[in-house]
Amino acid sequence: MSFKEFYMYEAQEFSSEKTSIAQVAALHTYLMKSGIYRIDQTVLDWGGGKFDIAKNKVEDSVDGINFQVYDPFNRSEEHNKKVLEEIKKVGGADIITIANVLNVIKEKDERIK
């Protein structure tokens, strides 16, 4: 059973599959403007949706940043596997973000977990 199948079976009624929108999350804009995103960092955007708009914006704005999007509901297993292999290859992520993910979980107990 995949992560997606397990999690949907076990925990929540809704997933982000139908809520992924083409926009740059305010979190990424803030992290770029504040200088937290810096050259040669690796960022893992967990639950980053099906669009590469944030990835492209961050990589265009911050020289040398390695921005990887992992999303079990909006990306293929092959894509997610490649992302995790890349993160492992570079020795881990410097920053892990989880923007606009918890707000799509209907069940309060699951959001709190």
- Mean pLDDT computed over 100-106: 66
The pLDDT score that the predictor gives to residue 9 is 47
What pLDDT, on the 0 to 100 scale, is given for residue 73? 84
pLDDT in the model for residue 109: 72
Amino acid at 20: S
| Residue 43 contacts residue 65 (beta carbons within 8 Å) | yes
pLDDT value at 4 more than 60 = no
Distance between CA atoms of residues 39 and 36, nearest Å:
10
Across 84-91, average pLDDT? 97
Query: What is the 8-class DSSP label of residue 104?
Result: G
Number of Cβ atoms within 10 Å of the Cβ of 3 = 11
Confidence of residue 104 (pLDDT cuts 50, 70, 90): low
Neighbours of 7 (CB within 10 A): 15
Q: What's the DSSP call for residue 69?
A: E
Tens digits of residue pLDDT in 58-81 = 999 999 999 999 998 899 999 999
Most confident option among 24-28, 40-44, 108-112:
40-44
Q: Which residue has the higher pLDDT, 112 or 81?
A: 81
Q: Which residues contact 61 (CB under 8 A, 6 or more apart)?
A: 32, 37
Contact between 55 and 67 (Cβ < 8 Å): yes
Q: What is the mean pLDDT of the chain?
A: 84
Amino acid at 2: S
